[in-house]
Amino acid sequence: MSLPAAAARPAWLFAGRRRLDPIRVASLAACALAAAFLAGLVGLLAVQSLPAWRHEGVAGFLAGGRWFFRARTFGALPMIYGTVAVSAVALVLAVPVGLGAALFASEVLPPRARLALKTVIELLAGVPSVVYGLLGVLLLRDWMYRLLSPFDPLSGDTLLTAGVLLAVMILPTVTTFSEDALRGVAGAQRRAARGLGLTRGTTALRVVLPQALPGLAAAALLALGRALGETIAVFLVIGRRDNQLPESWLSAEPLIKTTQAGQTLTTKLGGSETFLAWGDPLHWAAIAGLGLVLLALVGAVTLVGALLVRKGAGHAARS
């Protein structure tokens, strides 16, 4: 879903007339409802997670490396590391391929073929994540096991497997929104560049790409938001082993650790512990805390993306 720029609205027709209008009341009620839900979601997670923040301290919860609910130790860092590692793998793989495909679609393909390609890719974006997960379980897991055999893995369920699967899942998002951003650059710019004798490739790289940069960044951020929040597919191939942290951050260790099983914020939330935790206020608070951390991560990424889209739209409008 794109963030539509504020287009011409029929609202001007009604300026200055403020009579009682049942539809207007209903419409504003819907707004109140929406605001209540958003505030409720954030508020609920914040309030319910309070005991965990008090118990561990903010830094203790965020940077704690151990999660043992029977010992009442709740550190979220292994899950945060898992989420970041998995999403980083996905972005590193999906962004170059998606950008390449978007360049091809936007700069080379004729309109009809471009529409066909976009239709196929948008359909792909609609494939349910559980189906990706199934393919991960029955195909990708074995491939990864064979690929990683030099590292002597315990199984094919690793952070890397989850990252590769996520890359496939976010590829349509990266491609289609990057293509939108590239198409947003005015054709006159391309014609002017070609008229100056630049080749197609140079035009694309030196003229189109720089102007589309905010939109391209927004596409990557949107995809990152998806990757951070994806639950089901990752759940099936990540191994869900708790308390997996690299021993040192300033080495190859964080990279090597991706060839082992782990846990992300979402797979922890999607697991049976969420059901188990309800009876125990502190345990539940820790689960709600994971939800809050996830919401904050995704919210920040999405917000930056939205601001970039707006900036990009303003840019396109000026040129």
Partner 1 sequence: MRRGAERIFWGTTALCAVGACAVGAGILIATVVRGADALSWDFLVRASSSAGAEGGIVFQLAGTLILIATALAVAVPVAVGLALAVSVYLGERGAARLRLALYLWNGVPSVLFGLFGLIVLVRWAGWGKSWLAGGLVLGLMILPTLTVSLAERIDAVPRRYVEAARGLGLTRSRVVTSVLLPQSVGGLVSGALLGLARAAGETAPILFTAAVFSGATLPDGVRESPVLALPYHIFVLAQDSLEPGAATRLWAAAFVLIALVFGLGLLSLPLRLRVHEEARDGGGL
- Binders of partner 1 among residues 16 to 75 (CB under 8 A) are 17, 19, 21-24, 26-31, 33-35, 37-38, 40-41, 44-45, 48
CB of 19 or CB of 146, closer to partner 1 = 19
Q: Which is nearer to partner 1, 23 or 71 (CB)?
A: 23
Q: How far is the CB of 294 from partner 1 (least distance, A)?
A: 6
Rg (CA), the chain: 23
Among 36, 63, 92, 120, binds partner 1 (CB under 8 A): 120
- Which SS3 state, helix, strand or coil, does residue 74 take? strand
Supply the DSSP symbol for 148: T
Shortest Cβ 84–partner 1 spacing (Å) = 15
**Which of the residues 298 through 317 are near partner 1 (CB under 8 A)?**
298-299, 301-303, 306
Q: Name every residue whose Cβ is closer than 8 Å to that of residue 70 and which is 6 or more positions away in sequence.
A: none
Provide the terminal-to-terminal Cα distance of the chain, rounded to the nearest Å. 24
Residues 6+ apart with CB under 8 A from 271: 235, 240
Q: How many CA atoms lie within 13 A of 197 on its CB side?
A: 0
Q: Which one, 213 or 254, has the nearer CB to partner 1?
A: 213
Structure tokens at 126: 């609609």
Restricting to residues 133-162, name those near partner 1 by CB under 8 A.
133-135, 137-139
Characterise 19 by phi-psi region: left (phi > 0), alpha (psi -120 to 50), beta (else): beta
Contact 291, 269 (CB under 8 A): yes
Which listed residue (288, 308, 313, 316) binds partner 1 by CB under 8 A? 288
Question: Which of residues 110 and 126 has its CB atom nearest to partner 1 in the complex?
Answer: 126
Residue type, 61: F
Q: Which of 79, 101, 166, 223 binds partner 1 (CB under 8 A)?
A: 101
- Interface residue with partner 1, options 84, 295, 304, 311 (CB under 8 A): 295
Of 176-215, binders to partner 1 (CB under 8 A) are 199-202, 205
By CB under 8 A, tell whether 232 contacts partner 1: yes
Burial of 160 (0-12, 13-18, 19+ CB in 10 A): buried
Q: Within 239-268, which residues bind partner 1 (CB under 8 A)?
A: 266
Angstrom distance (rounded) from CA 30 to CA 26: 6
Token reading at 160: 């890397």
Q: What is the Cα 300 distance to its own chain's centre?
A: 11
Size of the site for partner 1 (CB under 8 A): 98
Looking at 77, 93, 97, 304, which residue binds partner 1 (CB under 8 A)? Answer: 97
Closer to partner 1 at the Cβ: 143 or 151?
143
Of the candidates 16, 110, 126, 187, which one interacts with partner 1 according to CB under 8 A?
A: 126
> Phi, psi at residue 244, to the nearest 5°?
-95, 110
Smallest gap, in angstroms, from Cβ of residue 63 to partner 1?
22
Instruction: State the minimum distance, in angstroms, from the CB of residue 253 to partner 1.
Output: 28
- At 154, give phi and psi (nearest 5°): -75, -35
The residue range among 66-74, 185-193, 223-231, 243-251 that interacts with partner 1, by the rule CB under 8 A, is 223-231
133 or 262: CB nearest partner 1: 133
Query: For residue 62, what are its two tokens?
Result: 């965020």
Nearer to partner 1, 4 or 150 (CB): 4
Strand partners, 67: 74
